[in-house]
Chain A
Amino acid sequence: MHELSIAEALVQHVTEAMAGSAPYRVTRVRLRIGLLSGLAADALAFCFEVVTRDTPLEGSALEIESVPVAIRCDPCGQIVELPEAPPLRCPRCNQASAAIVRGKELEVESIDVEDEIQNMTRSEPAS
């Protein structure tokens, strides 16, 4: 289960990207996770909640976009999305292809950020 390592990397990516900015709070995080990445979304959400405690990401919503698998099919000369993978076969011509162009993503797409107003009590996010 490497979801914990990934969640930690996520917090690190965000805090590094925001380094040097005024006090802020992250309210939403958008990820793109490929279906072949081997990452379990629910396990990631659980780890995310744990590792974001006491960070500017605490209480933020985690939005995960699942990226379906797509292969490059040489005979058809195009990129084909596979509703079910494996097998990694073109549904049109049945040719197998190991050239995966989508479906292994582990990416942070964007975040929603609110500036923290000094000396104001922070409202707790609704659970």
Chain B
Amino acid sequence: MTPRIVELRQGLLKKNDQLAAALRLRFQDAGVFVVNLVSSPGTGKTLLLERTLSALKAGGGRPAALVGDLETDRDAQRLARAGVPVRQIQTHGICHLDADMIERHLDGWDLASHDLLFIENVGNLVCTSSYDLGESCRVALLSVTEGEDKPLKYPGIYNSADAVVITKIDLADVCEFDRDAARAHLFDVRPGVRLIETSAKTGQGFDDWLAFLEERPQSR
């Protein structure tokens, strides 16, 4: 028997993309700006976020956060110390957040009472890049301890970023971090991307970071 060919021509993430598009509308209707933070594990997402939430709250902002990890709610506990609503998403082994997980964890949450929602993604530079979460903008982190050529090794995620935050800049000299090389490599995968150097430890660069958030930069 000769098989017949059935044309499908469908994106394998179509369901996620549709759900993300619906979430995006929901966020817009609620007037909440959503930032998807992506990086490898240990880049400093949680500390950056801890400090960011505290600063925003002190400035009269109404931020909230969703944080994804494979296991434990340790990060949610840390972030909750900033005195803002935080929810933990435990993926139990799944290496990325997807739009469905976001939707389920928004249950019963009054989005309109917040102006900024941060989604701290699972620490992973590969799988996270394919999943739209309905965010307004995607921010990738790169720490000075990781090596300047990381963007070349993981081009997909840095290409999809609307801004790149360089973290742990207080350690730049110790790590012999080459700023120019890092910038050149980032521009190789995402020409002209906005770069913000920060240290969540010393507070360096936080004015720039907060000013960036204040602009409400929309995704490409």
Interface residues of chain A, those whose CB is within 8 Å of chain B, are 1-2, 5-6, 9-10, 12-14, 17-18, 27-28, 31, 36-39, 85-89, 96-98, 100, 104-115
The secondary structure that dominates the A interface is: mixed
Residues of A within 8 A of B3 (CB): 27-28, 112-114
Q: Is the CB of B95 within 8 A of A108?
A: no
Interface residues of chain B, those whose CB is within 8 Å of chain A, are 1, 3-15, 94-96, 98, 126-127, 129-131, 151-152, 154-157, 159, 187-193, 220
Q: Is the CB of B155 within 8 A of A85?
A: yes
Q: Is the CB of B127 within 8 A of A37?
A: no
Q: Is the CB of B155 within 8 A of A36?
A: yes
Bound-complex Cα distance A113 to B218 (A): 44
Q: Give the contacting residue for A88; candidates B126, B127, B157, B159; CB below 8 A.
A: B159
Q: Is the CB of A109 within 8 A of B8?
A: yes
Residues of B within 8 A of A113 (CB): 3-6
Residues of B within 8 A of A37 (CB): 130, 156
Residues of B within 8 A of A28 (CB): 3
Q: Chain B: which residue is nearest A3 at the CB level?
A: B127
